[in-house]
Structure 1
């Protein structure tokens, strides 16, 4: 893109802000994992937890910790808590709400709360990130390495509204484990062909019935809201399916969703794709937060370039 076009886009944003004003919006995002090895960190054996309730707590004017927001993780273990305007959330933290949650398939121990960190702030919009929250089983899985003194996980903070002053807890670094000698558990089913190849397939390929077997992480009838999160639900409704989103055209936001869905599918089907799944979700939600047509179109164009960067390696699925 040349300098003249950059200037025109910048001028468009400035004029739009001057005429229409800025609608402030802030989002806090993070992920919840099952820490199967109880080592206090996310590793290859850990997996995201869906349906987990996450609570956000901030200090009030009286110094008391106050519950300010909650959200439930989607199928990818992601949660997003939104606020009007741009409040300062630098002293806040999040944690899993309840260890007895029936959706907690992992176990009986919750990891520590995690501090909220500012990722970017501009035009009265802000996005904060949080390091992964963890839940742990009562005992580490049999295929995990063992240690004579396994690391202990700090107890989570109890959060009945309101609660007493609480400082975020930071887990101590686990001791370095010896080189494990164990048999790896069975790996999840991989896509039929292009997982290790340079492959990128446009939305037209993903809509064809003969390539349906490549939908391995999500299914066509799943909704955009449960995969992309609350901002997508607000913008596109709660009933729009992933397959229907591939038909979007003639509108910047429909085009963004179509290319983002395609990029998400490609990210799960080729290790050499330009984006990982969390990057697709982050860039998509950032574009929605910006609520700017140039930003939406730029993000959609980047996804489209990635979706056509390599030849599509799909082969007809076996019936």
Structure 2
């Protein structure tokens, strides 16, 4: 596709977004972690869990429930709950309502307090709320968890009472002995100090070997067409071309695109706004694994895909355009692919 055709396609997408009817939505996002140490807080040992049901509840001044929605966490432990009409969710909260499929991983006990919603931004009549991490716990804590900072004091061993001392007969005073002057021994003269001969200088250290190249530290952004070429197949990491879209992006993507579509098929989507979103979303997902300097991280790509699929057609187009701009490198970052050996 030539540059003029690309500009025309982008202009059509922006025009379609502009004429699309307004639809106010409010979305709540967050993550559920498995609290392996059962200490009620996040630590290095905790990890996100999937299949957990999270409920977002809103109450009035009398404590009566006015709204309630429930969703299940995806493969990366994230959840996204949608409310139509952009209601005010400032007084609402989220909490783990059911362990669901997480019992298979051994982390099945809801724990921790409910978390209040925080308004992140308002944009095009859309509201985005976020919450602090929610926790679920296993039946027993992990064996190698750090010990508590307030350990239980060791039990005090009682000391037996002291026994009375035996009575000893007095000893008569000793007779005085004659004083004898001490004899000072003769001190031998000091021996001459022994000196070692000078040591030869040490040889210089060999130069350290150069570090191996780390291509994932370099800035790189590659379009969808590059990811479909066989000579660049070695750049696929963590996933392969036959991985299912539903496995990577979760239940929302499965409802829209089905459970049989692969990532390679998604990269060849054209024409339809939802297929365009999927093509650019999969491309951003692969670029995030290939370069740490890519504008989106892996979890961020999945979250933006979920938000777009829960929103209007305009949000689908805008998210697809943002992914496309990141995959093009913003005009300053090139694709660093070289043919695989």
TM-score range normalised by the length of the shorter chain: 0.5 to 0.7
Aligned-residue CA RMSD (Å): 3.7
8 Å CA contact retained: 2:54, 2:72: yes
Q: Secondary structure at the match of 1:268?
A: helix
Q: Distance in 1 between matches of 2:240 and 2:221?
A: 18
SS at the partner of 1:50? coil
Asked if 1:295 is matched to 2:318, the reply is yes
Residue 202 of structure 1 contacts residue 307 of structure 1 at CA under 8 Å; is this kept in 2?
A: no
Deviation at 1:111, TM superposition (A): 2.8
- In structure 2, the residue corresponding to 1:97 is in which secondary structure? strand
Question: Residues 180-195 of structure 1 correspond to what in structure 2 (within 5 A)?
Answer: 194-195=215-216
1:195 and 1:269 in contact (8 A); partners too: yes
Structure 2: distance between partners of 1:100 and 1:126: 28
Question: Which residue pairs with 2:150 in the alignment?
Answer: 149
Aligned to 1:91: 91
Over 3 Å counting, the alpha-carbon distance change for 1:258 and 1:14 in structure 2 is: closer
Point out the structure with max Rg over C-alpha. 2
> 1:312: which partner in 2?
336
Shift of 1:296: 4.1
Answer whether contact 1:194 1:314 (CA < 8 A) is retained.
no
Take 2:47 and 2:338, find their aligned partners in 1: how far apart are those partners?
A: 27
Unmatched 5+ stretches in structure 2: 1-10, 152-213
Counterparts in 2 of 1:216 and 1:294: CA distance versus 1, 3 Å:
closer
Work out the CA distance in 2 between the residues paired with 1:73 and 1:204. 32
Q: How does 1:127-276 map to 2 (within 5 A)?
A: 127-137=128-138, 138-142=140-144, 144-149=145-150, 194-208=215-229, 215-229=236-250, 231-233=252-254, 235-276=256-297
The corresponding residue for 1:31 is 31
1:303: Cα distance to partner? Answer: 2.6
By how many angstroms is 1:49 displaced?
0.5
CA 1:83–1:108: 2 relative to 1, 3 Å: closer
For residue 299 of structure 1, give the secondary structure of its aligned residue in structure 2.
helix
Give 1:57 shift.
Answer: 1.7
Query: Does the CA-based 8 Å contact 1:109-1:136 persist in structure 2?
Result: yes
Q: For the residues of structure 2 that align with 1:39 and 1:314, how far apart are their CA atoms?
A: 48
Confirm or deny that 1:277 pairs with 2:277.
no
How far does residue 130 in structure 1 lie from its aligned partner after superposition?
A: 1.9
8 Å Cα contact 2:50-2:73 kept in structure 1: yes
Distance 1:245 1:294, change over 3 A: closer
* Conserved? CA contact 2:284–2:323, under 8 Å: no
Where does structure 1 lack aligned partners over 5 or more consecutive residues?
Answer: 1-7, 151-192
State the 1:128 CA deviation.
Answer: 1.6
Q: Compute the displacement of 1:247 (Å).
A: 0.9
Question: What's the offset of the Cα at 1:285?
Answer: 4.2
Q: Is the 8 A contact 1:253 1:296 kept in 2?
A: no
